[in-house]
Structure 1
């Protein structure tokens, strides 16, 4: 019996659950983002697939794997600072970024305004691996003024002293992201046992 389901959504997919663990309620999320000048669209189309490694369209293949700690977190290192309580959350409409190197928006001091938009390097550290990645930051104020719903470079500032870096809905756009639950293994002999997430 094929238990996979597919759905389309306008804007980021908010997964059921509560608090910051929403992603842990689903196994596999695939998003598609059409490139545009400001890194945003009114809507995007994506696929939500249940199961990892159970069918041809949900294999891990060459995905980068980040294992989670016993609390469901991993560490993000950005601008030389470690954020040990980092997590993925497709229900958070922007990335939540620590530090003071990205300018704040004049009318929205809680939001980040990189103008022009650009990518920032970061490293995700799990239990035994370091995975270089990046996130984009644009002009949050301009994005809000345009009323765009699916934004690849929206970011807000974390509270001072926060131990958390939130990889929100913008990080999901254009990626295939899978989550394997604690104690579960992926069919096909990958040798990996959850909890971990993988992306490509």
Structure 2
């Protein structure tokens, strides 16, 4: 059996730390509607005229990764990276993790052709580097300037991170002591499309054999979501994945659509829209569960749902052989309430949690596990990739008018 890893690529330390997390407050709402694993929404609303030449949709694939060893429930896209000085000098890199919980494009240096000749970002004459903190560890690398293309959409001359770049000094101790090194589960890189477009990370200036923190990096010098920098269709994204078929799937195909309300194929058809209401800029919302109120995001970069072990019923036993994962005796529904951060737009939402051990024993070749959940919420409730199966989920950038509603928001 392939080893299961808890990646949780949501930038919990960056995107959620500013939110008012907590696990002990009671919450209820009398205006909540009820929802239980709703089907994919169909487009039928009045639609804006489309530019017939635009290609604003790219494939998303859930599979075993470049070497077949990536964690279950990992969604991948392909990204084309080009030299700024020679825009025809390009390379398409597959198996880039799609992550609605982080920001920007980050690629491992050994996956880039040596003749791509990306230019380092220099601030005051010194190369720039970044220590990127994920929920599952850190990555260290240089910042380079590149043109990034997905479909027919292009972001020109934007900062991206080159992880493990051998041309800069090694990782500083004040980065490596933040946790374990994060190999992204064997992926070639990661692209973040969180509603907060810039990562507000920890940046360094490098000189000689060392790098030191530079707190004066401007926003436009930070790693940024390429989608946010597209000329068109740049106000958000739509992630759509099918349900996992009976018997599992070794490769599940979906789509990533750029823009919300900008083309005929990306109208805002969601019934439920959850905003940050100006309190946070990362699209976080509230999940009430088990007598607690938790900050939440819909996160394709987390391979399961993550939430603290419930103190009350229903009891969710932890797996014996898969440490940290929930393995109830039979499929068990958890009852939650999801709302915007200010409590508006609340819905009651029931979600089934399966026994992961039993599912894998019965579906030996699957790469997609529906309704999987694990411990480790740390006072957050993370709706990971299993939530996305059978849904169309919208993620709108901060401050953007996306389908008539101002971001940041998540919607489904």
Does the TM-score normalized on the shorter chain lie above 0.5? yes
CA contact (8 A) 1:136 1:152 kept: no
Residue in 1 aligned with 2:286? 75
Q: Is residue 324 of structure 2 the alignment partner of residue 106 of structure 1?
A: no
Residue in 2 aligned with 1:195? 408
CA contact (8 A) 2:272 2:345 kept: no
Of residues 154, 162, 166, the one that matches 2:382 is 166
| SS, match of residue 82 in structure 1 | strand
**Structure 1 segment 40-189 matched on structure 2, within 5 A:** 40-68=248-276, 69-72=279-282, 73-84=284-295, 86-100=296-310, 101-126=315-340, 127=342, 128-145=344-361, 146-158=364-376, 162-187=378-403
Shift of 1:136: 2.5
| SS, match of residue 123 in structure 1 | strand
In structure 2, distance between residues paired with 1:167 and 1:157:
12
Residue in 1 aligned with 2:91? none
For the structure 1 residues 62 and 83, does the alpha-carbon distance in structure 2 shift closer, same or farther, using more than 3 Å as the test?
closer
**RMSD, matched Cα:** 2.4
Residue in 1 aligned with 2:98? 15
- Give ranges in structure 1 of 5+ residues lacking alignment: none
CA contact (8 A) 1:66 1:131 kept: no
TM score, norm. by length of structure 1:
0.83
Of residues 57, 67, 81, the one that matches 1:5 is 57
Shift of 1:22: 3.5
Higher relative contact order (CA 8 A, sep 6+): 1
**Structure 1 segment 31-46 matched on structure 2, within 5 A:** 31-36=241-246, 40-46=248-254
- Give ranges in structure 2 of 5+ residues lacking alignment: 1-50, 64-73, 76-96, 104-133, 136-190, 195-224, 226-235
In structure 1, distance between residues paired with 2:335 and 2:366:
25
In structure 1, distance between residues paired with 2:55 and 2:253:
21
In structure 2, distance between residues paired with 1:66 and 1:90:
17
Shift of 1:91: 1.4
In structure 2, distance between residues paired with 1:118 and 1:57:
36
| Aligned pairs, number | 191
TM score, norm. by length of structure 2:
0.43
CA contact (8 A) 2:306 2:381 kept: yes
| SS, match of residue 352 in structure 2 | strand
